[in-house]
Amino acid sequence: METKVMIPDQASLSLAASLLKDGRLVAFPTETVYGLGANALDRNAVLSVFAAKGRPADNPLIVHIYDRAQLPDLCTVQEKAVPLMDSFWPGPLTILFEKSEKVPDEVTAGLSTVAIRMPSHPVAIDLLKVSGLPVAAPSANSSGRPSPTTASHVFEDMNGKIPLILDGGSCEVGLESTVLDLCHGQPTILRPGGITKEMLESVLHENIMLAGSVLRPLAPDEKALSPGMRYKHYAPRASVTLVDGAESDVLALLPRLYEHEIAHGQKACVLCFTEHLPLLQNCDPHALGSKASPEEVARRLFSALRMLDEEGMDSVFSEVLPPEGMGLAVMNRLGRAAAFRIVHA
């Protein structure tokens, strides 16, 4: 199959909408990462999303809408969700709702809840409006690869597998949406993202829990609150190790770890904050962004992880951020890329 990459305009958007109506897949930009969209009400279309990504069938998809008037068809809205939707939609917040009969089990992997979000990216909104459909869309990467934040990342993974990619440039947030569970007791963040725990708490006025697996691996006998947390994810082919501790100790240890790998014939590099580039000149440093801006690090992280593969890295050592605000989402993705391997300096 030929995969077209098109700049979004009236013609490409109407082509995209008619492909979706025909049960085909379209990759499109959102403010978080690119999504691989299918008509959420068409079982076969949804099944082809799993096939294109190589995604395990038990990992449910997020349904995207452009108007809250679409909700009653898809789910029951709990009261607590209302102030959150008022504050953070459209935007990078996904909320779980009890699903309606209409939502196929293929979307929710058999769960009774459906994850829904209203993206803010103008191209995503236009596509949803023109098609008039609820669109089920996981990130548009092959399963296990870092999520795509540019159309060329999508092309790397999906060339030949889907008919169309809408190229809307780089994604502003760069990490996937926050997934919030309001259906099972105390509100719980299943996946941290663009809307931080602090922002959610300021609206709900109660403590929000973090799923156990956000900053550590799932124990072998532990049930995943979100099926996606079970899988190896965001991982480049290189082995990634996080280095934490006092900044001066980290900056002293990184060159030693790097040199040890080089001495053993490995291709190695360091992921560091822009401020530390001059200090790590001899360690093939790759900048993650400024330490003062977790938002910048978030925006650049997945590109940086893909770059490691392109350069054929074997071993990568990375600085870490405090797990607060956007730093929590960054550390969740970096932690999983590193299979939670951490060295304390």
Q: Which is nearer to ligand TXA, 181 or 261 (CB)?
A: 181
Number of helices (H) and strands (E), helices first, in the chain? 11, 17
Rg (the chain; Cα; Å): 20
**In the complex, minimum distance from the CB of residue 142 to Mg ion, in angstroms, rounded to a whole number:** 10
Q: Which is nearer to Mg ion, 52 or 269 (CB)?
A: 52
Q: Which is nearer to ligand TXA, 51 or 252 (CB)?
A: 51
Q: Which is nearer to Mg ion, 91 or 228 (CB)?
A: 228
**In the complex, minimum distance from the CB of residue 119 to ligand TXA, in angstroms, rounded to a whole number:** 6
Half-sphere exposure of 20 toward its Cβ, with a 13 Å CA cutoff?
A: 28
Q: Which of residues 103-142 bind Mg ion (CB under 5 A)?
A: 139
Q: Which is nearer to ligand TXA, 40 or 240 (CB)?
A: 40
Token pair listed for 333: 């993705």
Count of chain residues binding Mg ion (CB under 5 A): 1
Spatial neighbors of 48 by CB under 8 A, at least 6 apart, are: 23, 24, 25, 38
Amino acid identity of 215? L
Task: Output the CA angle 155-299-8, nearest 5 degrees.
Answer: 45
289 binds, among Mg ion, ligand TXA, none (CB under 5 to 8 A by kind): none
**In the complex, minimum distance from the CB of residue 242 to ligand TXA, in angstroms, rounded to a whole number:** 21
Amino acid identity of 103? V
- In 3D space, the residue among 32, 24, 33 whose CA is nearest the CA of residue 3 turns out to be 24
94 binds, among ligand TXA, Mg ion, none (CB under 5 to 8 A by kind): ligand TXA
Burial (CB < 10 A; 0-12, 13-18, 19+), residue 220, is exposed
166 forms bridges with which residues in the sheet? 6
Tell me: cis bond preceding 146? Omega within 30 of 0 counts: no
94 forms bridges with which residues in the sheet? 179
CB 210 within 8 A of CB 204: no
Buried residues in 158-184 as b, exposed as e (16+ CB within 10 A): beebbbbbbbbeebbbbbbbbbbbbbe
Q: Which is nearer to ligand TXA, 113 or 239 (CB)?
A: 113
CB 243 within 8 A of CB 317: yes
**In the complex, minimum distance from the CB of residue 28 to ligand TXA, in angstroms, rounded to a whole number:** 8
Q: Which residues bind ligand TXA (CB under 6 A)?
A: 30, 32-33, 35, 59-62, 92, 94, 96, 108, 111, 113-115, 119, 137-139, 176-177, 179, 190-191, 226-228
**In the complex, minimum distance from the CB of residue 176 to Mg ion, in angstroms, rounded to a whole number:** 6
Q: Which is nearer to ligand TXA, 45 or 313 (CB)?
A: 45
**In the complex, minimum distance from the CB of residue 244 to ligand TXA, in angstroms, rounded to a whole number:** 25
3-state secondary structure of 4: strand
30 binds, among ligand TXA, Mg ion, none (CB under 5 to 8 A by kind): ligand TXA
Q: Is 315 a residue that touches Mg ion (CB under 5 A)?
A: no
**In the complex, minimum distance from the CB of residue 93 to Mg ion, in angstroms, rounded to a whole number:** 16
Q: Which is nearer to ligand TXA, 140 or 257 (CB)?
A: 140
Q: Which of residues 230-249 bind Mg ion (CB under 5 A)?
A: none
CB 66 within 8 A of CB 235: no
**In the complex, minimum distance from the CB of residue 177 to ligand TXA, in angstroms, rounded to a whole number:** 4
61 binds, among ligand TXA, Mg ion, none (CB under 5 to 8 A by kind): ligand TXA
- Residues in contact with Mg ion by CB under 5 A are 139
